[in-house]
Amino acid sequence: MNKPLQLLIVEDSEDDALLIVHALKQGGFDSSFARVQTAAGLESALESKSWDVVISDHAMPAFNSLAALEVLQYKGLDVPFILVSGAIGEEQAVEVMKAGASDYVMKTQLGRLASTVDRVLRETLHHRARRRAEYALCRSQQELADFFEHASVGLHWAGPDGTILRANQAELDLLGYTRDEYVGHKFSEFCRDDHVAEDVLERLHRGEILHDYEVRLQRKDGDTRHVLINSNVLWEKGKFVRSRCFTRDITERKRGEQAMAYLAAIVDSSENAVIGTTLDGVILSWNGGAERMYGYGADEIKGRSLSVLVPPYRPEELPAIYERIRHGSRVERFETVRLRKDGAAIDISVALSPIKDFRGEVVGVSAIESDIGERKRVEQERLELIGELTEALANVKTLRGLLPICASCKKIRDDGGYWQKVESYLSARTEAEFTHGICPECITRLYPDYAPRPNAPSGM
């Protein structure tokens, strides 16, 4: 079965064109052809459809093969061009070949035309495949270069001794160096820890692939960046060619972790119980204060319900509180009772807050609980003391009103009409006790010899 062929013939002789078609048919081609003999006709034909091959005479009244080849090349079409002429010298044929013709055949040797066309078509297919492969390779290299240079994470290549061979802009920006300040230098020059670069190289030379290897790198401004390195080696015939390293900045994450660790240390060292639960009351976090307050270790209480701490006579307390938390409300401090691991009831003060995720949705509950047993004891003692004082005051005897007293002997008449000495009267009606002495006036009056003399010299 003949092979179909889309054939464009540049020829001023219709008979010669038919001879070409006949020769190709004899060689196994079934040609669908068109004939042109001017530049305008050739341009129009090339624009009208795709052609498998162009066969051109060399010399025509208004056109020639070199001009026809130029039109074909100007169009940028990858179509084989075969020169078929009855009168062309070798030098002219070589000139056309150098200009880009695929081959030439003399009109007196049309028997060679079919095999020439077949070979040229195969070469063209091979050439097109090679061009596609070269284009794909070039495109791939361009995309790889673009990926390397414009990747959002740091990338660098390093030689077997750790010398940086290539680095992308993200890595330069990360560390603040120019390309000349970074490329060509040893990776160890930028490591904060001396042993790290050596350890990385040793691992890579052993054929290891590094996954999230943590390194501290020094920026040009002296700041430290915490990074994770993922790296492997390009080997050729067992030889270390270069390492390929991805450098991911985790400085902010490290700072966040340090802040969280600091906060966790504060929480864990707090005397208050700090407890985190799900919205269903399942305990997720349990600090040292909670261990000391309730007697449960973190490992034995995590995963259990907070209701284990609630007395049986308060079954509705947690559901009511957690319903408020679900709606984003805080529960300010209130006093209640909880149970220790040993069953003892303790008085506590509780404050609860909702825990929200990055979307602002409530996902848990944070409780801060304080043991107020000592405060309660002190309050009770104070109340008892107040009661005792009140009772004592109620029992104190007081004297009110007018007291009838003798102007001469100073005795007081009681309610029964009897006259009593002052001290007897007061002792019976108050808790006062009396001691006896003598005032200076009485000494002068009763014992003048012992009375002190006025203005007497000291010691006389």
What percentage of the chain carries pLDDT values higher than 90?
Answer: 57
Q: Do 412 and 419 form a contact (C-beta atoms < 8 A)?
A: yes
Nearest to 273 by CA among 372, 350, 369: 369
Q: Do 215 and 189 form a contact (C-beta atoms < 8 A)?
A: no
Distance CA 385, CA 393 (A): 12
- The reply to whether domains 151-254 and 270-375 share a CATH topology is yes
Tell me the two tokens of residue 6: 């889309």
Highest mean pLDDT among 329-333, 343-347, 430-434 belongs to 343-347
Least confident of 254-263, 340-349, 378-387, 450-459: 450-459
SS3 state of residue 356: strand
More confident residue, 355 or 408: 355
**Angle 90-99/65-74 helices, nearest 10 degrees?**
0
Distance CA 425, CA 430 (A): 9
CATH topology of domain 151-254: Beta-Lactamase (3.30.450)
Domain 3-129 homologous superfamily, CATH: Response regulator (3.40.50.2300)
Token look-up 């074909």 returns 72
Nearest to 168 by CA among 190, 144, 188, 133: 144
Q: Where are the domains of the chain?
A: 3-129, 151-254, 270-375, 403-460
Scanning 335-458, the segments in alpha helix (DSSP H) are 373-395, 422-429, 440-446
Distance CA 450, CA 366 (A): 85
pLDDT of amino acid 425: 75
Q: Is the pLDDT of residue 431 over 70?
A: no
Report pLDDT digits (tens) over 105-119: 999 899 999 999 999
pLDDT of amino acid 394: 65
Report pLDDT digits (tens) over 152-202: 999 999 999 999 999 999 999 999 999 999 999 999 999 999 899 999 999
Q: Do 286 and 296 form a contact (C-beta atoms < 8 A)?
A: yes
Q: Is the pLDDT of residue 454 over 70?
A: no
Cα Dmax for the chain: 184
Q: Do 182 and 155 form a contact (C-beta atoms < 8 A)?
A: no
Report pLDDT digits (tens) over 270-302: 888 999 999 999 999 999 999 999 999 999 999
Distance CA 159, CA 151 (A): 21
More confident residue, 408 or 93: 93
Is residue 460 very low, low, confident or very high in pLDDT (cuts 50, 70, 90)? very low
> Does domain 270-375 correspond to CATH entry 3.30.450.20?
yes
Q: Do 101 and 82 form a contact (C-beta atoms < 8 A)?
A: yes
231 phi and psi, to 5 degrees? -150, 150
Token look-up 């014992």 returns 447
Is residue 458 very low, low, confident or very high in pLDDT (cuts 50, 70, 90)? very low
